[in-house]
Chain A
Amino acid sequence: NAGVMQNPRHLVRRRGQEARLRCSPMKGHSHVYWYRQLPEEGLKFMVYLQKENIIDESGMPKERFSAEFPKEGPSILRIQQVVRGDSAAYFCASSPGGIGEQFFGPGTRLTVL
């Protein structure tokens, strides 16, 4: 049973470009969470999604960031017009729902030049 998959593992973008980060949850998991870890800072919640629904996006920056979890395929975190301050590690976690344990992916490390 494969764990949570994230790709790419490393992503380099120039300022103003778009970044797309993908997360495939564990088999049987329908809940996805995105977290961000800025350099030398702790982890912070961004968004919580179930299939085709955004449940809680209280941690998402108001502009340039969006997330989706379609009926088919991975969850996508999209960052438009990236800036240097977006450089961070982005982790996805999945759970089966209820109070099931969250399992983390390996993260995507975004570097904005």
Chain B
Amino acid sequence: GAVVSQHPSWVICKSGTSVKIECRSLDFQATTMFWYRQFPKQSLMLMATSNEGSKATYEQGVEKDKFLINHASLTLSTLTVTSAHPEDSSFYICSARDGSALSGNTIYFGEGSWLTVV
């Protein structure tokens, strides 16, 4: 099946610094990617929808100036957590939609990134 790669898989950063997470679709073009946050034992919470070549659409309650999303190409979207604080520590997962005719808009997930802010 299609592959979505997410990097880094885990990162530790100091409070107040920024950290960037990359999401790549390896064998298909993804005009739309999604960023989720998942706390332990909870469901996936959609943060924003990333559209190639345009501004991301953020879900209610998600600070767009804190969680910067860039989708500059059809295979890469990045999430930058700016001025990170300990409460930002979480599991962040991206997904990408394969919009090809054969795929039928199937969604594939990246491996996820564990962020720990100390």
State whether these chains interact.
no
